C-alpha cells in the first residue's frame, strides 16, 4: 500500500499522460488532487486543461501565466552566463523546470497539500530537475512519480486505462506521436520515436518555429538590441518587457531560419539522447550578448567567466538551479555584467545571426591603442621585453633539451 496522503498538487497539461495520472492518483492514493498548469509561452491554448480538469471533478485548478517571471528570473540570468551545455545546447527545457517546481511547491503550501506529482518518466532528466527543486524548497514534501510506480509502460496501456475509466481523450491523441515535444518561450524540443536513430535526418516538417535556412529571405535584416547590465531591454529602440522582447526575437529569428539544432547529448541519468531543438530568439540573443561583452569586459574577467560557464551550464542541465554553488556562480557572473551596457547591431541572414556593430558607454576599446596607423600612446619597443619574459621558460626548456639530446 502506498504511503497515505491527503492532497496532491499535480503538474498537469491535460494531455493523455497527465489525465491518466490524475485519475490514477485518486484511485491509488484516495487523495484529493489539485491541478497546476503553467503558461510558459508554449504557444497553445491552456483553457481546455481547465475544462478537462473540471470535467474530471477537480475542485482546485491553477492555470498561471508565468511568462514574465520565466524570462526575467530564469532565462535572462542564465543567458548572463552565456550558458551552453556541452558547447551547443541553450538549455531551453532545463531552465523551465525549476520555475514549475517552485510554483508547484507554492501551491502545495497555499492549499495545504502534503504531496506533489509530475509526469516525467523514470529514464529522463526532468524527474531529477523537478524533484531536486521540490526538495530544495520544501524538504518534507512527498513526491509521487507515477512512471516509477505503475505498470502502464506503453501508450497502448495508457489508452486502455483511459477507455476503461471513461477518461476523455482527444481523437488526435490516440495515434502514436512521431516524437515527444516540450515547448516554452525560449525553445521547443523534439525527442524520441522517429528521432531515436541518430543517423536519420529529422523530417523537414518537424519544425514549427523557424523556416528552413535555405528558404529564408534572400535579403538580410538588421536589428539593434539594447542591453542594460547584461539583459536585453529594447529592440530597434522600442522598450519591451522580458517576455515581449523574447517573443519578438523568436519572430525575427524564426523568419530567417535561425536557431535549429540537432544534437546527441549526455543525460544526467547516464544514457545518451538525441534531441532536435528550435531556439530562434535565444540564438540571436546569445550571439548579440557575446558581441557586447567582447567590447565591455576586461580580458581577465571575460576569460574567467568563460571558465565558469561549463560548470554553470551543467548545474542548470542537471537540475541544481536552487543549489548554493549555482547561486555562488550567479553572484560572480552578475557582478561581471554591471559594465555590459550598450547596443548591438545584428545581421540576420539564412540561419545565421552575425554581430556587425556594437557600442557602449562602458567600452574598453580604444582606437588610439588599437590603430595600425601612427600613434602617440603606445611604444612598440615595450613589446620586446614582454615577449622575452614570456618566452623565458620556453627558451630554458629548449636549452635543457638540446643539452640532454
Catalytic residues: 17, 97, 126, 180
Selection from 316, 297, 274 nearest residue 83 by Cα: 316
Strands 342-349 and 231-235 come out as: unpaired
Q: Cα Rg for the chain, rounded, in angstroms?
A: 25
Residue 332 φ/ψ, nearest 5 degrees? -65, -45
Which strands form 180-183's sheet, in the order they lie side by side?
Answer: 180-183, 188-191, 272-278, 260-266
Dihedral in degrees, nearest 10, Cα atoms 192, 197, 203, 205: 0
Q: What angle do CA 239, 244, 247 make, to 5 degrees?
A: 125
Is there a contact between 124 and 266 (Cβ–Cβ < 8 Å)?
no
What are the Cα distances from residue 115, in Å, to 80, 111, 219, 269? 34, 11, 54, 24
Which residues are 227's β-sheet partners?
A: 232, 342
Selection from 135, 124, 144, 131 nearest residue 269 by Cα: 124
Q: Which single residue is written with the C-alpha cell 554591471? A: 338
Amino acid at each position: 500500500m502506498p504511503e497515505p496522503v491527503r492532497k496532491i498538487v499535480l503538474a498537469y497539461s491535460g494531455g493523455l499522460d497527465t489525465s491518466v495520472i490524475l485519475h490514477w492518483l485518486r484511485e491509488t492514493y484516495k487523495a484529493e488532487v489539485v491541478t497546476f498548469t503553467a503558461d510558459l509561452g508554449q504557444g497553445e491554448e491552456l483553457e481546455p486543461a481547465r475544462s478537462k480538469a473540471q470535467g474530471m471533478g477537480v475542485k482546485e485548478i491553477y492555470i498561471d501565466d508565468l511568462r514574465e517571471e520565466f524570462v526575467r528570473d530564469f532565462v535572462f540570468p542564465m543567458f548572463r552566463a552565456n550558458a551552453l551545455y556541452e558547447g551547443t545546447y541553450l538549455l531551453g527545457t532545463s531552465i523551465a523546470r525549476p520555475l514549475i517546481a517552485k510554483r508547484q511547491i507554492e501551491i502545495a503550501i497555499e492549499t495545504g497539500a502534503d504531496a506533489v506529482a509530475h509526469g516525467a518518466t523514470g529514464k529522463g532528466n526532468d524527474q531529477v530537475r523537478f524533484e531536486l527543486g521540490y526538495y530544495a524548497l520544501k524538504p518534507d514534501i512527498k513526491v509521487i512519480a507515477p512512471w516509477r510506480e505503475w505498470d502502464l509502460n506503453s501508450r497502448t496501456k495508457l489508452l486502455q486505462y483511459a477507455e476503461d475509466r471513461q477518461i476523455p481523450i482527444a481523437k488526435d491523441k490516440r495515434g502514436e506521436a512521431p516524437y515527444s515535444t516540450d515547448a516554452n518561450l525560449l525553445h521547443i524540443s523534439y525527442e524520441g520515436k522517429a528521432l531515436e536513430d541518430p543517423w536519420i535526418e529529422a523530417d523537414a516538417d518537424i519544425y514549427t518555429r523557424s523556416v528552413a535556412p535555405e528558404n529564408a529571405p534572400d535579403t538580410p535584416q538588421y536589428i539593434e538590441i539594447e542591453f542594460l547590465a547584461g539583459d536585453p531591454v529594447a529592440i530597434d529602440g522600442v522598450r519591451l518587457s522580458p517576455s515581449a522582447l523574447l517573443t519578438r526575437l523568436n519572430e525575427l529569428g524564426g523568419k530567417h531560419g535561425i536557431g535549429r539544432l540537432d544534437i546527441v547529448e549526455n543525460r544526467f541519468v547516464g544514457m545518451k539522447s538525441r534531441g532536435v531543438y528550435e531556439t530562434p530568439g535565444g540564438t540571436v540573443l546569445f550571439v548579440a550578448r557575446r558581441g557586447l561583452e567582447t567590447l565591455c569586459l576586461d580580458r581577465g574577467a571575460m576569460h574567467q567567466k568563460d571558465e565558469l560557464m561549463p560548470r554553470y551550464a551543467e548545474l542548470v542541465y542537471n537540475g541544481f538551479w536552487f543549489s548554493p554553488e549555482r547561486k555562488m556562480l550567479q553572484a560572480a557572473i552578475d557582478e561581471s555584467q554591471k559594465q555590459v551596457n550598450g547596443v548591438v547591431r545584428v545581421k540576420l541572414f539564412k540561419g545565421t545571426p552575425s554581430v556587425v556593430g556594437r557600442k557602449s558607454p562602458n567600452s574598453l576599446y580604444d582606437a588610439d591603442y588599437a590603430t595600425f596607423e601612427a600613434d602617440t600612446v603606445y611604444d612598440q619597443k615595450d613589446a620586446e621585453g614582454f615577449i622575452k619574459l614570456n618566452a623565458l621558460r620556453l627558451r630554458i626548456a629548449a636549452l635543457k633539451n638540446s643539452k640532454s639530446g
